[in-house]
Amino acid sequence: MSATIKRLLISDRDDIMEISRHIWDGHDYLPSVADEWLNDPNCHFYGSEMNGHVVAVGNLRLVENGQTGWMEGLRVHPDYRGKGLAKELTRYLVEKAESFGLQRLRYTTANRNSASLKLAKMAGFSRVFTLAVFWHLNPKTVPHSEDYPSIRKVSPARTHNLLQTNPSIVFHEILVYDWKALDNTLQNLEEIGKTHKFYIATKKGKADSLSFGYPRRESTQAWWSTTVYATDLEGLASQLAHNQVVASKQGIKSIVCTFETKFEKALRASVGWETGEHWGIRLVLLEKRMRS
């Protein structure tokens, strides 16, 4: 029996939750965003239906004034894997993006997700860059330099102004936050600022390090999710330590951090953690240009 792709409705919510229950040992983020995707006019949330049930889902979200399509949440129920449903749904979402006249499509995946990377190649996506990601359930305090400049909480507008003094600090001029990505513009900083707080340090009037983070709450626990951009290891470690303090004040012990891969070896050596951490994960940003 072939699958039928359809626009998802509130009535499909139970099937969506059943698919999500099997993802990441029940720690999938989909339950926290599914209702938003079902109701947001900028979200085009589709699913593949077989035997009267939705068994695969994927969302195409329009961002950056409808110029960019963000693909996310591709899931297939384990009982229906190996049937090409992910490939069919990916092709369908790409076709929807083409019909909207988007300039480009983007999504992120993990370097270990070979199936997702294979789908990206099939659909004509190219790698833009790779960032390092680690998480820790209960980290000790990160050592940092007492001589490093103070880190200040700033508004999105102030962040934008300071980044003009050292634009190269942001890798490829693209802001990555919680496995999503937007170009480094004031509008997009303000969008990220709806959920995240920005922290910046300057040296000689120029931006030297930047981080933004927010509490990502799951059914079983809360994580502090942060991205750090820095010119050197000192700035990275200081921003990470600052985010740990911010998280601790909110009663959050676990942390997820995204940063440039060139710092991973040195950071891992400097923090001195022995257990509870996960290293070696890579966030891969993929992009497909739709029209020139």
Q: What is the pLDDT of residue 146?
A: 86
Q: Model pTM?
A: 0.93
Q: What is the pLDDT of residue 219?
A: 64
In the chain, how many domains are there?
2
| DSSP reduced 3-state for 230 | strand
Q: Are residues 38 and 166 in the same domain?
A: no
Q: Are residues 235 and 158 in the same domain?
A: yes
Q: What is the pLDDT of residue 32?
A: 87
How far is Cα 227 from Cα 260, in angstroms, rounded to an integer?
A: 9
How far CA 27 is from CA of 10, 74, 137, 221, 255, in Å, comes to 22, 15, 14, 10, 15
139 confidence band (pLDDT: 50, 70, 90): confident
What CATH number should be reported for the domain holding residue 61? 3.40.630.30
177 confidence band (pLDDT: 50, 70, 90): very high
Instruction: For the chain, give the number of residues.
Output: 292
| Residue 262, domain member (yes or no) | yes
Q: Are residues 146 and 259 in the same domain?
A: yes
Q: Are residues 36 and 146 in the same domain?
A: no
Q: What is the pLDDT of residue 43?
A: 97
Q: What does the block give as tokens for 105?
A: 């499509």
- Report the share of the chain in percent with pLDDT over 90: 82
How far is Cα 210 from Cα 154, in angstroms, rounded to an integer?
A: 10
- Which is it for strands 152-154 and 174-177: parallel, antiparallel or unpaired? unpaired
Given a cut of 60, whether residue 292 has pLDDT beyond it is no
Question: Furthest-apart CA pair in the chain: how many Å?
Answer: 66
CA neighbours closer than 13 Å in the CB half-sphere of residue 83: 18
119 burial level (CB within 10 Å; 0-12, 13-18, 19+): buried
- Which is it for strands 254-259 and 222-230: parallel, antiparallel or unpaired? parallel
Q: What is the pLDDT of residue 121?
A: 96
216 Cβ contact partners less than 8 Å away, ≥ 6 residues apart: 29, 178, 222, 223, 224, 225, 256
Domain extent, residue 269, equals 133-287
Q: Are residues 75 and 139 in the same domain?
A: no
Q: Are residues 52 and 160 in the same domain?
A: no
Where a domain ends, among 56, 80, 102?
102
Q: Which of 151, 232, 247 has its CA nearest to residue 196?
A: 247
